[in-house]
């Protein structure tokens, strides 16, 4: 190791320690806010007239904490602490977690810390508490922890209705699994969601643009596009040339998914998908399977992203046991959460 590498290694060590310290402090604050909420609720319940006493209690507590500790303990924030306890007291963050905390002194042990994901900050929880569907809330908790989403990334996934879009493409058992385990990539079908939301491109839904324009916008916002694609994606290239029978063809976008251990090819179509599009993708997939992928890698997946499609026609275009070629709609505006939820409720009714 030369001197420059040595200096960099020391700097990396310090930065790593700082990140760990920040996460530890964040977890300590989440635990503390929950415990404050618990004690407020218990104190209120001991009052003769809960509503009136509760308001008085919060006002006086806020004044005391502000005078003795500083900012951050307004009546509004204290209400959030109370809500946090009430929302999560019957979930994984239970009162039993605080058996090691005494009334006289808040000693947060390693056991208590281990119950919380350092990836979920207090700001995340404020947003999570606004999600009333407990299955949906639990899904986002798992995804935040698994993917280390920042608050802005979480907001983007929620605003684009990730949970509803994934749930619409799954049966009841898979929807239940979503809420318990988050999104798991075990089969090619687990990649699928509809529609894919590409609002970050800035393209209007009715604007005139070409496939190359769309492709360029996706490359310009590659990080956001990969977040929309899902877990485990690595970018391999655009307009990747493949040659057979002395003819050249170009795949719009090529990715590799390290969780599924396979190539993922994406073609972009502005209009309605046709049999020519699925046939072309089948050719690309066959080429990668026979010429590019290694023997220990899984079969290639092809996704045709299109503006519109006839589901029945697409089903007829593809083999009956197909698990490699997928056609999915995309849109460049945020979907209506209300419409997606109604569609999800209707699907649940149909399956009963």
The pLDDT value recorded for residue 95 is: 40
Residue 236: pLDDT above 50? Answer: yes
263 within some domain: yes
The pLDDT value recorded for residue 113 is: 54
Taking residues 112-136, report their average pLDDT.
85
Alpha-carbon Rg for the chain, nearest whole angstrom, is: 25
Same-domain check for residues 204 and 100: no
Percent of the chain with pLDDT over 90: 38
Render pLDDT for 242-295 as a digit per residue (tens, 0 to 9).
988 888 999 999 999 999 999 999 999 988 888 888 899 999 999 999 999 999
**What is the total count of domains within the chain?**
2
| Peptide bond preceding 195 in cis form (omega within 30 of 0) | yes
Among 118-122, 137-141, 272-276, name the most confident range: 137-141
Domain containing residue 216 = 196-334
Taking residues 17-46, report their average pLDDT.
80
Residue 92: pLDDT above 50? Answer: no
Among 113, 140, 157, the domain-final residue is: 113
Distances (CA, A) of 347 to 99, 163, 175, 226, 352: 43, 15, 12, 28, 9
Render pLDDT for 211-223 as a digit per residue (tens, 0 to 9).
999 999 999 999 9
Query: How confident is residue 110, by pLDDT bands cut at 50, 70 and 90?
Result: low
User: What is the CATH number for 325?
Assistant: 3.40.1350.10
pTM for the full model? 0.75
- Residue that the structure tokens 């109370």 belong to: 82
């Amino acid at each position: 190791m030369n001197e420059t590498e040595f200096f960099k290694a020391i700097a990396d060590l310090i930065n790593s320690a700082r990140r760990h310290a920040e996460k530890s402090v964040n977890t300590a604050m989440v635990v503390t806010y929950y415990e404050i909420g618990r004690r407020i609720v218990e104190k209120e319940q001991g009052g003769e007239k809960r509503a009136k006493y509760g308001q008085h209690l919060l006002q006086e507590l806020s004044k005391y904490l502000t005078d003795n500790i500083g900012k951050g303990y307004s009546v509004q924030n204290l209400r959030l602490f109370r809500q946090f306890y009430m929302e999560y007291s019957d979930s994984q963050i239970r009162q039993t977690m605080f058996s090691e905390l005494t009334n006289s002194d808040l000693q947060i042990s390693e056991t208590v810390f281990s119950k919380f994901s350092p990836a979920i900050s207090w700001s995340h929880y404020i947003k999570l508490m606004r999600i009333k569907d407990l299955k949906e809330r639990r899904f986002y908790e798992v995804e935040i922890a698994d993917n280390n989403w920042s608050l802005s990334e979480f907001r983007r996934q929620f605003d684009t209705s990730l949970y509803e879009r994934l749930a619409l493409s799954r049966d009841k058992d898979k929807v239940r699994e979503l809420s318990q385990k988050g999104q798991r990539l075990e089969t090619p079908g687990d990649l699928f969601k509809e529609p894919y939301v590409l609002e970050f491109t800035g393209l209007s839904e009715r604007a005139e643009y070409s496939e190359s324009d769309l492709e360029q916008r996706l490359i310009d916002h590659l990080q956001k596009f990969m977040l929309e694609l899902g877990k485990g994606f690595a970018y391999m290239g655009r307009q990747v040339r493949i040659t057979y029978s002395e003819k050249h063809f170009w795949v719009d976008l090529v990715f590799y998914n390290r969780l599924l251990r396979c190539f993922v090819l994406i073609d972009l179509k502005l209009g309605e998908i046709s049999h020519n599009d699925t046939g072309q993708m089948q050719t690309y997939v066959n080429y990668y399977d026979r010429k590019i992928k290694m023997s220990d890698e899984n079969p290639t997946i092809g996704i045709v992203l299109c503006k519109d499609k006839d589901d029945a026609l697409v089903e007829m275009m593809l083999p009956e046991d197909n698990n490699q070629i997928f056609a999915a709609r995309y849109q460049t505006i945020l979907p209506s959460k209300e419409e997606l939820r109604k569609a999800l409720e209707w699907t649940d009714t149909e399956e009963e």
